[in-house]
Amino acid sequence: MKEALMQIKEKGVAEIRSAQSLKDLEAIKVKYLGKKGELTQILKGMGKLTAEERPVIGLVANEVRALLEETIAKEVSILEEKAMLEKLEQEKIDVSMPGKMPRKGGLHPLTKVLHELEDIFIGMGFSIAEGPEVEYDYYNFEALNLPKDHPARDTQDTFYISDNIVLRTQTSPMQIRTMEKQRPPIRVIAPGKVFRSDSVDATHSPVFHQIEGLVVDKGITMGDLKGTLELVVKKLYGEDAKIRFRPHHFPFTEPSAEVDVSCFVCKGEGCRVCKGEGWIEILGAGMVHPQVLRNCNIDPEVYSGFAFGIGLERLVMRSYDIDDLRLFFENDVRFLKQF
């Protein structure tokens, strides 16, 4: 029996030290020290030994068990450390490699130019007013001197929700809403979406953006309007930019004008952007009609004012030489990432 124990000792230690994995060590442990292991089976036969042999064999058996357990523990520690080093090597990060920059979005060109305009007007003492996109007929038309039988209504291509409610065709209703709530002096701009029943093409869309401007105070003249718009244009297009007024008619202003800016590409000499004219139309403007002031309980004998309406898409198309309005709304990343 002592010889068998010595054989188990030699074989077990050799197998333990040659094990390649923790799984192999577990199998060796079961083979020698498990309930049916070789060492266990020998210990079960100790009852057949004489009283003199039993303590000698027991001592040897305990020494063999202790040696096997100690050797297994050491090998487990070695293999675990080896596995950890291999894992660290596989998960190692090369900090010298360039990182992958996340893709960052940016502001839409319409938003960029709108923010630029808002900054210009805020710097001039204007505040920003916002109002509903679903508007009463009264604010969208009647209070702006456009009664129900007015022919100008036919050119608006209005979306009617009911006889009295429309999707606003302009941000001009904010003129009325502002003057109803605020007494002069008034100096506001009202940017926002407007809606008209237009077919979609390169220059038309059923939804687009306008920026309405309104100033009301004592002694406001056409010269104040011209000076304000000149400053805005110079801020947008440079100190050499010029504007010109052309007579026009709007029901809510009198006198009225279409406002052009000198072409920012050719500086007035004529090119394909301005179609050879040297000027680009950018907005409509005029002095607030006395009837519009009366509709808001403001005495036109005491107060006067000017108003203007800027088409944001037109301004952005001119600024970036964009020839198709649909590009603003199609969300083509190839187009948007240029801005």
> Contact, 194 vs 153, CB < 8 A?
no
Number of neighbouring beta carbons within 10 Å of residue 335 = 14
**Where are the strands (E) in 113-167, listed by range?**
127-128, 134-136, 165-167
Q: What angle do CA 150, 153, 159 make, to 5 degrees?
A: 145
Question: CA of 257: how far to CAs of 226, 233, 282, 288, 306, in Å?
Answer: 11, 16, 11, 12, 11
- Helix (H, G, I), strand (E, B), or coil: what is residue 327? helix
Look at residue 67 in the predicted model and tell me its pLDDT: 80
CA distance linking residue 308 with residue 257, whole number of Å: 9
Tens of pLDDT along the chain (339 residues)? 667 777 777 877 788 788 888 788 788 778 777 777 777 777 766 666 666 766 777 677 778 778 878 888 888 888 888 888 888 888 877 778 787 888 888 889 999 999 999 999 999 999 999 999 999 999 999 999 988 887 767 666 888 899 899 999 999 999 999 999 999 999 999 999 999 988 888 778 899 999 999 999 999 999 999 999 999 988 888 888 888 999 998 889 999 999 988 876 676 677 766 677 888 888 999 999 999 999 999 999 999 999 999 999 888 887 787 878 888 988 888 888 888
Look at residue 175 in the predicted model and tell me its pLDDT: 94
- DSSP structure class, residue 144: G
Question: CA of 322: how far to CAs of 41, 209, 278, 318, in Å?
Answer: 91, 16, 18, 7
Strands, sheet with 279-288, edge to edge from the N-terminal-most edge strand: 127-128, 186-195, 207-217, 304-311, 279-288, 253-262, 243-250
Contacts with 59 (C-beta within 8 Å, 6 or more apart), sequence order = none
- Helix (H, G, I), strand (E, B), or coil: what is residue 195? strand
Give the per-residue SS3 of 219-258.
Answer: CCCHHHHHHHHHHHHHHHHCCCCCEEEEEEEECCEEEEEE
Residue 327 tokens, joined: 């590009």
Type of residue at 264: F
Whole-angstrom Cα Rg for the chain: 44
Question: CA of 223: how far to CAs of 228, 286, 287, in Å?
Answer: 9, 11, 10
Nearest Cα neighbor of 320 from 282, 268, 265, 258 is: 265
Look at residue 97 in the predicted model and tell me its pLDDT: 76
> Contact, 114 vs 175, CB < 8 A?
no
Look at residue 48 in the predicted model and tell me its pLDDT: 65
Look at residue 220 in the predicted model and tell me its pLDDT: 96
Q: Is the link from the previous residue into 185 a cis peptide, with omega within 30 of 0?
A: yes
CA distance linking residue 170 with residue 174, whole number of Å: 9
Look at residue 46 in the predicted model and tell me its pLDDT: 66
Residues, the chain, total? 339
